[in-house]
DNA sequence: ATGAAAGCGCTAACAG
DNA sequence: CTGTTAGCGCTTTCAT
């Protein structure tokens, strides 16, 4: 069916070695033969088979990207950005969704091994490192993104969630808030801890004591969970004047929950989200949120991947900063001493 | 480095053929040898190389998915759904983003040829069929999704946009609207036409004459373009009482534009969107919108792909229905005769 | 400057 | 029931 290197060689009256070298520019071939070969390639619509090429050269130019979900706008955008960056280097991406499920993650990683990917980029679904270590031991470069697993000596690109959360809380404190609610994700992940650390540290540094009523964990990952969480928070501590949510969608739910409870945002309760998803700039009020620095992450991932491919021992750990995007959902509290 | 079939054969003291047959369950092997082989596989952490397997068997168990963007929530969700469905059949997906750019589409398709994918699923970026026909002629099953290209004899799964738009407009008419604005996408695509057809047909069937002032094309694809478009619409025809937008994000912009113009939704102007994106159910008012039937599309795509793989001549054209999701953004107009 | 040929890891005849 | 072997399409020595 489709033409192979043999067909091209025959058509161009040269050896298959010459065709290979013309295609890959891997040794000098006289202009005459180059012309004949290219003409034959054109005529036969020949496309080299990268996979079988990799059989000997040990490169398939495929990279695996494993993440919880690409239908989430943030991860979707990250996947797209990484994909475009890698395309320029001739790599294509095999994308696998794990839904934060370890079984699915293992199955995805197994598939990627069988597909002989050159490297794997993963947003780990859990702290379980077993399979990831197996990949590493196979000699496949594997890069952790957004969530780290400590002490297994792997390249990691994360966001400095501690600092960004600290900044966000501090911004609220500077605006006169002290009863600041925190809505945490349903399941603990590596960055949950860092975010909480930042929250607590900012309060402590400002001499504000920690009120356990101001902390709540969502039941799930949807909008509605944000509604429910904020209403519990308000019930537990009616004096709350600000809320920080671990995720913009949760923040959206929180706003709804606040409004449904008869309060307004930001006049009664200020809200800060996290991720800077596209819709947050379109809300009324426009949401103040912590940026998820997609481009910086993608750039770092590409850089580390390429270097790891050149040098199997290359390891780099990078923390990028998530800036606070100040918009309209935070004001000074009505009854603040600052007023 | 990683173990190969040879290593396993040596370890298990059998021939490589036996290993292959144990792995693929492709002929009877005595329990004794099966045991030895599986033990060796376990011990050596052997994973068969699917790519080189495909070298002879002519199957790589990779499928290409080419679409404009996975960071768009709708396409992202579609990609994820398709990915999960194919995973069950042991296929992995190579996802390529085209940004609706024909050059990128061609480059993506070339890559997929070189990766020897078993089939290609594509949301075409343009009406240019050249490359797609080349793929078809190579014998690679290729399935068009969401946008069709006529008369090239390819399997196609589309949404019946004409009917769904007709229904939506008709719903507005039933509610007493007659000055109904339509906000169209910036660039013409196959379904733009069908949507417009439905819009016009519904008006005609109701005996409402077409007012060119009620039609506008967006400048771009963002939220802000919806704001601008609706304001132009209102300026050109202050009597407008309803607006249909081709895309939920545009509808979101339209709502903002209407509010900023001093009117309210739906009391002064009703709004209908398209796609039923997750956020639309969370808006105030909750957006009435035309559903994009992701599951139905994904199911059909899987079905057609598998059948095309079995039978290279298999062709199927399917139109799935996009139901109107009735929520809160449409009411009877203030000054309607129906009141 | 070019070609011949070995072999990458595997499947599928073919033998026995 | 199991093993031997010829390729699949390509890269890469090794010759010339």
Kindly report the average pLDDT of chain A as a whole number.
94
* The predicted structure's pLDDT at residue B238: 94
Is the confidence at residue A142, as pLDDT, over 60? yes
* The predicted structure's pLDDT at residue B335: 63
The alpha carbon of residue A189 and the mean position of all alpha carbons in its chain are separated, in whole angstroms, by: 14
* The predicted structure's pLDDT at residue A336: 46
Residue A119, token pair as written in the block: 């490297």
**A279 with B279: Cβ contact below 8 A:** yes
Give, in Å, how far the C1' of C13 lies from the CA of A7. 24
For A76, nearest residue in chain B (alpha carbons) = B71
* The predicted structure's pLDDT at residue A55: 83
pTM more than 0.85? yes
Range list of H helices, chain A: 5-12, 16-24, 31-44, 50-57, 73-88, 102-114, 130-137, 161-174, 190-205, 223-236, 248-260, 294-310
pLDDT band per the 50, 70, 90 thresholds, residue B283: confident
For B74, nearest residue in chain A (alpha carbons) = A71
Please tell me which of the candidates B54, B97, B281 has its beta carbon nearest to residue A84.
B97
Is the confidence at residue A327, as pLDDT, over 60? yes
Q: At what angle do helices A130-137 and A102-114 cross, to 10 degrees?
A: 10
pLDDT band per the 50, 70, 90 thresholds, residue B284: confident
Tell me the shortest Cα–Cα distance from A39 to chain B, in angstroms.
Answer: 18
* The predicted structure's pLDDT at residue B189: 85
For B249, nearest residue in chain A (alpha carbons) = A279
Distance CA B48, CA B263 (A): 64
Query: Which domains does chain B carry?
Result: 5-56 (1.10.260.40), 61-159+294-321 (3.40.50.2300), 161-292 (3.40.50.2300)
Mean predicted confidence (pLDDT) in A239-252:
96
* Chain A hits for B256, Cβ within 8 Å: 282, 284
> How many C-beta atoms surround the C-beta of residue B142 within 10 A?
26
Distance CA A99, CA A104 (A): 8
Is the confidence at residue A337, as pLDDT, over 80? no
CB neighbour list of residue A193: distance below 8 Å, 6 or more residues apart? none
Is the confidence at residue A149, as pLDDT, over 70? yes
Q: Which nucleotide is nearest to A46 (CA to C1')?
A: D9
**B107 with A93: Cβ contact below 8 A:** no
pLDDT in tens, A247-287: 999 999 999 999 999 999 999 999 999 999 988 988 878 99
**Strand C protein footprint, C-beta under 7 A:** A 13-18, 27-30, 32-33, 52, 55-56; B 4-6, 16-17, 20, 23-24, 26, 46, 48-49, 52-53, 55-57
Give, in Å, how far the C1' of C4 lies from the CA of A265. 78
Is the confidence at residue B245, as pLDDT, over 60? yes
Within A 3-62, residues with CB less than 7 Å from strand D:
4-6, 16-17, 20-21, 23-24, 26, 46, 48-49, 52-53, 55-57
Strand D reaches within 7 A of the B32 CB: yes
Nearest to residue A195, comparing CAs of A256, A137, A274? A274
Give, in Å, how far the C1' of C6 lies from the CA of B20. 23
Tell me the shortest Cα–Cα distance from B52 to chain A, in angstroms.
Answer: 6
Nearest amino-acid residue to D11, taking CA and C1': A56
**B97 with A83: Cβ contact below 8 A:** yes
Nearest amino-acid residue to D3, taking CA and C1': B15
* The predicted structure's pLDDT at residue B292: 97
Return the higher-pLDDT residue of A307 and B335.
A307
Nearest to residue A130, comparing CAs of A157, A95, A103? A103
Count of residues in chain A: 339
CB neighbour list of residue B16: distance below 8 Å, 6 or more residues apart? B5, B6, B8, B9
Give, in Å, how far the C1' of C14 lies from the CA of B27. 15
Is the confidence at residue B337, as pLDDT, over 60? no
Burial A182-208 (b: 16+ CB within 10 A, else e): bbbbbeebbbbebbbbbbbbbbeeeee
Strands in A324-325's sheet, in edge-to-edge order, are A215-217, A180-184, A242-245, A270-275, A288-291, A324-325
Residue A166, token pair as written in the block: 């600290």
* The predicted structure's pLDDT at residue B54: 79
> How many C-beta atoms surround the C-beta of residue B275 within 10 A?
25
Q: Which nucleotide is nearest to A9 (CA to C1')?
A: C3
Best A75, A112, A282, A286 member to test B by mutation, with max B CBs in 10 Å, is A282
Kindly report the average pLDDT of chain B as a whole number.
94
* Chain B hits for A79, Cβ within 8 Å: 70-71, 95
Mean predicted confidence (pLDDT) in A298-324:
96
**B62 with A92: Cβ contact below 8 A:** no
* The predicted structure's pLDDT at residue A335: 64
pLDDT in tens, A72-82: 999 999 999 99
In chain A, the percentage of residues whose pLDDT exceeds 90 is 88
Cβ-based contacts under 8 A for chains A and B: 137
Burial A275-306 (b: 16+ CB within 10 A, else e): bbbbbbebbebebbbbbbbbebbbbbbbebbb
Instruction: Provide the CB-side half-sphere exposure for A121 (13 A, CA).
Output: 30
Mean predicted confidence (pLDDT) in A181-194:
92
Mean predicted confidence (pLDDT) in B287-297:
98
pLDDT in tens, B32-89: 999 999 999 999 999 999 988 878 778 899 999 999 999 999 999 999 999 999 999 9
Mean predicted confidence (pLDDT) in B88-93:
93
Residue B45, token pair as written in the block: 């952490």
* The predicted structure's pLDDT at residue A3: 93
For B69, nearest residue in chain A (alpha carbons) = A80
Going B139 to B141 to B145 to B150, the CA torsion angle's sign is positive
């Amino acid at each position: 069916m489709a033409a192979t290197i043999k067909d091209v060689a025959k058509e161009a009256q040269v050896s298959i070695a010459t065709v290979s070298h013309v295609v890959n520019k891997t040794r000098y071939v006289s202009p005459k033969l180059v012309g004949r070969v290219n003409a034959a390639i054109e005529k036969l619509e020949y496309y080299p088979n990268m996979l079988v090429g990799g059989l000997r050269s040990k490169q398939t130019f495929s990279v695996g990207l494993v993440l919880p979900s690409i239908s989430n706008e943030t991860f979707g955008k990250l996947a797209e950005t990484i994909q475009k960056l890698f395309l320029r280097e001739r790599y294509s991406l095999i994308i696998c969704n794990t839904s934060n499920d370890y079984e699915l993650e293992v199955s995805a990683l197994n598939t990627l091994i069988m597909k002989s990917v050159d490297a794997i980029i993963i947003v780990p679904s859990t702290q379980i490192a077993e399979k990831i270590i197996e990949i590493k031991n196979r000699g496949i470069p594997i890069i952790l993104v957004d969530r780290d697993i400590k002490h297994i000596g792997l390249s990691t690109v994360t966001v400095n969630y501690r600092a960004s959360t600290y900044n966000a809380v501090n911004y609220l404190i500077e605006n006169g808030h002290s009863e600041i609610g925190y809505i945490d994700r349903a399941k603990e992940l590596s960055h949950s801890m860092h975010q909480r650390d930042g929250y607590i540290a900012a309060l402590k540094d400002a001499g504000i004591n920690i009120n356990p009523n101001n902390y709540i964990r969502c039941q799930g990952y949807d909008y509605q969970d944000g509604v429910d969480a904020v209403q519990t928070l308000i019930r537990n501590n009616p004096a709350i004047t600000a809320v920080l949510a671990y995720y913009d969608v949760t923040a959206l739910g929180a706003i709804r929950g606040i409004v449904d409870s008869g309060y307004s945002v930001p006049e009664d309760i200020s809200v800060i989200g996290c991720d800077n998803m596209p819709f947050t700039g379109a809300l009324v009020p426009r949401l103040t949120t912590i940026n998820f620095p997609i481009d910086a992450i993608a750039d770092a991932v590409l850089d580390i991947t390429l270097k790891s491919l050149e040098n199997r021992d290359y390891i780099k750990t990078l923390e990028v900063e998530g800036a606070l995007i100040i918009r309209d959902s935070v004001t000074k509290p009505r009854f603040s001493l600052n007023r």
